[in-house]
Amino acid sequence: MTTEAIVAGGLAGLALFLAIFALIPRRVSLAGRIAAFDASRVAPLHDLAAEDHGSESALTRRLGTALERFCTELGWQFPSLRASLRLTGKSFESFLGTKALLGIFGLTVPLFLLSGLSLLGVHLSIVIPVWVGLMFGVIFFFLPDIELRQEVEKRRRDFRHAIGAFLDLVAMNLSGGRGVPEALMSASEIGDGWAFWRIRDALINARLTGQTPWQALGQLGAEVRVDELRDLAGALSLVAEDGAKVRESLTARAVSLRRKELADLEGQAAERSQSMLVAQMVMAGAFLVFLIYPAVQVLLNS
């Protein structure tokens, strides 16, 4: 029995085992039921993840739903991943389905290439495509995670920018004589971006559940992992009774956020300028090699 046959048989057996294991019905654990019940108690009014359902295929949706049900039955919740997906407006089922399909695609690409080479008369050992397929499968499987991480960082930067504008609006509402809860809600209703939607939904849910607005903002800051919003919630909880102190604190925080954002933008601009300088140096070096090569070739041939 050759090595190729052993590898092919092992992969076929593993695929058959996973298919049978996925079809076996399993009981939902108590932790999974409680987590699903808690998640359905208070839902955001503007669910950004619902926008993702229109762009995903039926196969991705069905496969992702099956994988999500499988993870729930095992008690795997992935809170950090779910928070990142909610921040970017993607559904957990779509993300799982995309990862699975990309992994399968990466596994099958070398096999298709091997079949094409076989039709052209080039015969290779099956071991090489198997290992290349495993490598491609792992790389393609983690591509959505890399894309998600980049998009999450961009969203958080946008969220910090929106917080600066939100603080200015709250300070202006406080100057008009409104209380802190009313000023927070009124300021959140002015903006129509996704960041203001999240803030407004958090405040509405806080009103429905009996929480204070700053507690809701603190929970939202912990969910989206924006320290500025959590610091704002802590400051509001300390000085919520004194309107003048709240207004001064919010104005100072808005100025601090703008300065920090300006410093970050200047740092990014300096980094890009440095990258452009390196690219120009590489192009200049290549041009010098292009000019010198003919003379060097003539000297070596003489």
Average pLDDT over the chain reads: 76
pLDDT of residue 22 exceeding 70, the answer is no
pLDDT at residue number 222? 84
Q: Is the dihedral of CA 134, 137, 139, 145 positive or negative?
A: negative
Mean pLDDT for 245-269 is 74
Whether residues 52 and 192 fall in one domain = no
Lowest mean pLDDT among 154-158, 187-191, 251-255: 251-255
pLDDT digits (tens, 9 = 90+) for 60-100: 778 888 888 878 777 788 888 888 888 887 888 888 888 88
Residue 270 within a domain: no
Residue 286 within a domain: no
pLDDT of residue 54 exceeding 60, the answer is no
Print the domain residue range for 26. Answer: 3-155
User: Within 10 Å of residue 113's Cβ, how many Cβ atoms?
Assistant: 14
Whether residues 143 and 208 fall in one domain = no
Whether residues 122 and 166 fall in one domain = no
Report the percentage of the chain scoring pLDDT > 90.
0
Supply the pTM of this predicted model.
0.62
pLDDT digits (tens, 9 = 90+) for 136-166: 888 888 989 998 988 888 888 888 888 888 8
Size of the chain in residues = 302
In 3D space, the residue among 219, 88, 79 whose CA is nearest the CA of residue 153 turns out to be 88
Residue 302 per-residue DSSP state: -
In 3D space, the residue among 150, 165, 180 whose CA is nearest the CA of residue 87 turns out to be 150
pLDDT digits (tens, 9 = 90+) for 107-138: 887 777 777 766 776 666 667 777 777 888 88
pLDDT at residue number 44? 46
The conformational region for residue 25 under phi > 0 = left, psi -120 to 50 = alpha, else beta, is beta
pLDDT at residue number 42? 43
Whether residues 144 and 19 fall in one domain = yes
pLDDT at residue number 150? 87
Whether residues 151 and 165 fall in one domain = no
Tell me how many domains the chain contains.
2
The one-letter code for the residue type at 69 is: R
In 3D space, the residue among 264, 2, 263, 281 whose CA is nearest the CA of residue 127 turns out to be 2
pLDDT at residue number 279? 81
